Structure 1
């Protein structure tokens, strides 16, 4: 057991205490909230990245095939739709699509409704992989929440939704 887990203190408490020592007039509660959100986000991003790597994909690649999967059958979107959803430039999207197509996880074909457009479609192999990867990613997230009741998770989710709305 670490000292921080015995005392209920964490690294963010140490940082805010240091600020209090040199600038006691500062109200550091926002720093404590966002410091913890940042550290949680980094830790969970690293953990899910490791899970996706076991499936042979990166987080960014999961985002592409996950977006296609969430779109429902026939699991097809245009590169523009994918770019907008994932907030990527067309160049960034092209690189991901090239790699995923080479791996056999998606295919590109002409858009039958727009001679100049393309459609990106999840392959059967891509569908199987994303279905396995999403389950594995959710297991990591669920494990991080094991110390919370279902009601606490709902409250936390609601509070974070409000906070996200305030900062967007």
Structure 2
């Protein structure tokens, strides 16, 4: 039962393990377990906004990656794969879906006749601008529970952890 002695499920799990394995320091689970649960909940909250614009998480990622390049800039599928951290096959599927809906176009590379570039269409730029505005508003809502100092501390802690993991 959660309550004064167990503020959340992670604390309850740690207490259970402490009773069963007092020889182990299970306190790291208070960070890792909570981060895992928060990450899953955040993904659900973020995806809801993408769905409001008819996009999946991967499609939003491709459009946002193209948009943040600036101007009429286009990327190769390999560049998209690297910047979205998914396989080239996954990028191809995402680009195919977005192209079929008129949000991106493939065009010949000016430097390599065999290569194609992926670029936003005007409709794609309009969509990602609207979706990204809603996304940032949603992220602001999600972190509003944190004080400025809590947020800064969390940012620094997550940065240190990310660096240690090479991400």
- Per the normalisation by structure 1, the TM-score is 0.92
| 5+ residue gaps, structure 2 | none
Q: Does 1:25 align with 2:39?
A: no
**Residue aligned with 2:113, SS:** strand
Is residue 103–residue 120 contact of structure 2 (8 Å, CA) maintained in 1?
A: yes
Structure ranking higher in strand proportion: 1
Match of 1:105 among 103, 106, 113: 103
Aligned to 1:52: 50
Instruction: Tell me, in whole angstroms, the C-alpha distance in 2 between the residues paired with 1:14 and 1:6.
Output: 11
Distance apart, 1:149 and its partner CA: 2.0
More displaced stretch, 95-104 vs 140-149: 140-149
Match of 2:12 among 4, 7, 14: 14
Taking a change above 3 Å as real, the CA distance of residues 167 and 120 of structure 1, as seen in their structure-2 partners, is same
| 5+ residue gaps, structure 1 | none
User: How many aligned residue pairs are there?
Assistant: 166
Stretches of 4+ moved more than 6 A in 1? 5-8
Is residue 2–residue 12 contact of structure 2 (8 Å, CA) maintained in 1?
A: no
Distance apart, 1:84 and its partner CA: 1.1
**Residue aligned with 2:115, SS:** strand
